[in-house]
Amino acid sequence: MKLFKIFVFWIGLMMILPVSAQNSEECLQDLSIFAEYAKVKNYDEAYGPWLKVREACPSLNVAIFSYGERILKDRIKKATPDTRDAETADLIKLYDQWLENFPTRRNVSVSGDIISSKAQAMLDYKTADKMEVYKTFDLAYQTDAKSFNNPKELYNYFKTLYDLYKKGNQGVTMEQLFNKYEEVSEKFEIESINLAKKLDVILKKQEEGTPLSSREVRSKRVYGINSNAIGTFLSNLDAIISKEATCVNLVPLYKRNFEEFKSDAVWLKRAASRMDSKECSDDPFFVTLVEALHTLDPSADSAYYLGILKDKAGDSQEALKYYEESISLQTDPYKKAKILYKIAIKFKSAGRKSSARSYALKALRFQPSMGPAYLMISNLYAGSANDCGETQFNKRAVYWLAAQMAFKAGEVDASIKKLALKTARSYEGRAPSKTEIFTEGNQGTTIEFDCWIKSSVKVPEL
């Protein structure tokens, strides 16, 4: 009897193995077929073989899901009212299967990316209410914030919470809203710095005159697109929170929670940052926040805020000492660049143009892709057109210098390219015309500026 059971087992195994091998071979063939169709966006032809592989061999290749997402989105686009719900439900199901079969890429988790894509699809195709969409975004962030880095999805993560807050009946408080804003905006900053680091490597190579490879040219374009997306969605994020984050709302909120969080350095930093950015630093409570932060955690941030306090008190020399301390305490070059740029803004607002340019240039040494720093220098030059040069022609020649800086801003930072080009064209329009150059007869000559600018510009050739 025992021998009979063993015999039956082996007969069964021999029957299964050929079928499994056959299925595997068919899956590989269908994978190749649907991938070729999908590559050329022929999703209708790709659907049949793709569906076979998805059902028979879901763990064969991640292309089943990366291409499958495109295939199903195309089917949703073409769907009739009768079939649309089924197609959208299948897309949501696909993300769950993707997470189950390929939660990592090169041994690194991508679950945050997958879950946030699912949340975005739920939002786009209205398959769930806002609360469920928000919870799905939040699951992505709490599960794997590192791979949750799509700018649009990060923005909608906050936007869905904001919409729930505005409804007024979802239990979302103003404090929760501000906390989530800080989390998401900090995440945007992390992604922005990661892009800047990659872009600066390429920019440095360009500055050295080394030709870029075709891959580097493509990468520069992609980094520029992503940087522009981050800039756009972060701007939208700030526009939303600005409606709620007024001094009238912020100060009472932070005062109310101060006793509970006065030993929490992260909370203190975020509160001080928000009050500073919303120009609430004139309120006496800002002093309380900053002093508590500096006592608890002396850092680049707290030193910077102490500098602001000294500035407000009219002690610019003491303020500068704290600003310099802030720079020395910061070890991350990109965060150091951000502080230097903030200081440059302070000097610009105070009318100290030379100091503003000096700190903007220091910021650029740490982050060459910081377009706003170039744009600030451009504006400083343009604002000095009447102060530099002895003749009317030479005074207006400053605009060529200003335009150069604006063009440079757009070249290194795609997120402000439109503004930079618009600014540059505007300054070129204010510079001497071709007719005036011809009349002066000074094409190709160099004009020196002996004012604070201490630079020169070459008159364009006709």
Q: Cβ(263)–Cβ(295) under 8 Å?
A: no
Q: Would 268 be classed as within a structural domain?
A: yes
Q: Would 39 be classed as within a structural domain?
A: no
Assess whether 119 and 162 both reside in one domain.
Answer: yes
Dihedral (CA of 188, 194, 195, 197) sign: positive
Q: Would 271 be classed as within a structural domain?
A: yes
Q: Which residues contact residue 73 at a Cβ distance below 8 angstroms, ignoring those fewer than 6 apart?
A: 91
Assess whether 143 and 204 both reside in one domain.
Answer: yes
pTM to 2 decimals?
A: 0.81
- Between helices 353-366 and 333-349, what is the axis angle to 10°? 170
**CA atoms of 293 and 286, how far apart (whole Å):** 11
Assess whether 285 and 379 both reside in one domain.
Answer: no
Assess whether 378 and 395 both reside in one domain.
Answer: yes
Distance set, CA 326 to CA 104, 321, 332, 342, 401 (Å) = 39, 9, 12, 11, 32
Assess whether 186 and 232 both reside in one domain.
Answer: yes
Specify the pLDDT at position 169.
Answer: 72
Specify the pLDDT at position 396.
Answer: 95
Assess whether 224 and 273 both reside in one domain.
Answer: no
Beta-bridged to residue 109, according to DSSP, are 104
Show the tokens assigned to 374.
């170039």
CA-based nearest residue to 456, from 411, 410, 409, 394: 394
Assess whether 267 and 233 both reside in one domain.
Answer: no
CATH code assigned at 313: 1.25.40.10
CA-based nearest residue to 320, from 302, 306, 333: 306
Q: Cβ(293)–Cβ(265) under 8 Å?
A: yes
Residue 116 exposed, middle or buried by CB count within 10 Å (0-12, 13-18, 19+)? buried
Assess whether 134 and 238 both reside in one domain.
Answer: yes
CA-based nearest residue to 399, from 369, 423, 374, 417: 423
Q: Would 43 be classed as within a structural domain?
A: no
Average pLDDT of each block of 10 consecutive residues along the chain (462 residues)? 40 37 80 96 96 95 97 96 95 98 96 98 96 97 96 97 89 91 92 92 89 92 89 91 89 93 92 88 92 91 91 87 92 92 91 95 95 97 90 94 96 91 96 92 91 93 84
Domain count, the chain: 3
Assess whether 127 and 222 both reside in one domain.
Answer: yes
**CA atoms of 117 and 115, how far apart (whole Å):** 5
Q: Would 18 be classed as within a structural domain?
A: no
Give the CA diameter of the chain.
114
**CA atoms of 351 and 340, how far apart (whole Å):** 17
**CA atoms of 89 and 126, how far apart (whole Å):** 11
Show the tokens assigned to 43.
């999703």
Q: Would 321 be classed as within a structural domain?
A: yes
Q: Which residues contact residue 376 at a Cβ distance below 8 angstroms, ignoring those fewer than 6 apart?
A: 341, 344, 345, 348, 356, 357, 360
CA-based nearest residue to 420, from 461, 387, 364, 379: 379
Domain boundary among the residues 225, 243, 261 is at 243
**CA atoms of 382 and 376, how far apart (whole Å):** 10
Domain around 317: 245-329
Domain boundary among the residues 199, 224, 243 is at 243
Specify the pLDDT at position 18.
Answer: 38
Assess whether 169 and 257 both reside in one domain.
Answer: no
Specify the pLDDT at position 17.
Answer: 34
